[in-house]
Amino acid sequence: MARELWKFRGFIYESVRREFVSRYAGTQFGALWAILQPLAMILIYTLVFASIMKPALPGHTSRFAYSIYLCSGVLTWGLFSELLSRSVGVFIQNANLLKKVHFPKLSLPLIVILSALLHYSIVMALFLGFLAVTGAFPGWAALAAVPVVLILIGLSVGLGILCGTINVFYRDVEQTLGMVLQFWFWLTPIVYVNKTLPAGIAQILQWNPIWPLIRAMQTIFLEQRQPEWLSLLYPTMLTLGLLFIGLLVFRRLNSEIVDEL
């Protein structure tokens, strides 16, 4: 499987490049929008929450604390949401290509991963720049974000391939997932702090696999230290399980996908 994907590396690279260029084609600023849009988001969060609303975080006195807390969670959720929502419809959206050209179908989720990571890298570079300017750069602790992001990618892709394969045969999956993601966002302590929740609800949210990953990123960038690695054991095991199940279902239904498109 990996060897076949490697043979089509040129196709994958060109697809990622073409997608990046086409996203901003016809605009006056072109690819500069890849910087302007996330920069505007960071500035809005900083202006609204740090200067106007001034929400307080327990144990943090910095005027930028909540902005950092919010950006850490929103950027992490944004990567997860983009990977999952795009992966679930990737086979149907590329139906014409799959019918006309022979290439490994798993190259489509891989293109989604690389495209999302390209934009995420740009956003994170701006966020790190913001942290450096405000004197809140986490230093070497920032490297701890790499394994957290890798787990997040594995979780979203494993679930995405599973749902994406089933979605070919049952088209309601993609629509249902869109609603689930809306509820999932608000069931994850991103905008609010988990300490404000009743004990019973907070205990239930411990089973939310995204929450430990969000919390890890908030720990890295807000508290400027490495996360509690044992807290990532649950999402890691779930990620491995979903990748295994997703690839297993894909391999069993792979030959029928084109016929159903």
Local mean pLDDT, 10-residue blocks, the chain (261 residues): 75 82 62 66 70 64 81 90 90 83 84 90 88 88 94 94 90 87 88 76 84 94 92 94 92 81 66
Identify whether 18 is part of a domain: no
What is the residue range of 248's domain?
34-260
Asked if residue 120 is part of any domain, the answer here is: yes
6 part of a folded domain:
no
Residue 80, pLDDT score: 94
- The predicted structure's pLDDT at residue 156: 93
Does any domain span residue 20? Answer: no
Counting the structural domains of the chain, the total is 1
Tell whether 99 is covered by a domain: yes
pLDDT of residue 258: 76
146 is a domain residue: yes
3-state secondary structure the chain: CHHHHHHCHHHHHHHHHHHHHHHCCCCCCHHHHHHHHHHHHHHHHHHHHHHHHCCCECCECCCCHHHHHHHHHHHHHHHHHHHHHHHHCHHHHCHHHHHHCCCCCCHHHHHHHHHHHHHHHHHHHHHHHHHHHCCCCCHHHHHHHHHHHHHHHHHHHHHHHHHHHHHHHCCHHHHHHHHHHHHHHHCCCCCCCHHHCCHHHHHHHCCCCHHHHHHHHHHHHHCCCCCCHHHHHHHHHHHHHHHHHHHHHHHHHHHHHHHHC
Q: Residue 187 falls within a domain, yes or no?
A: yes
In a domain, 28, yes or no: no
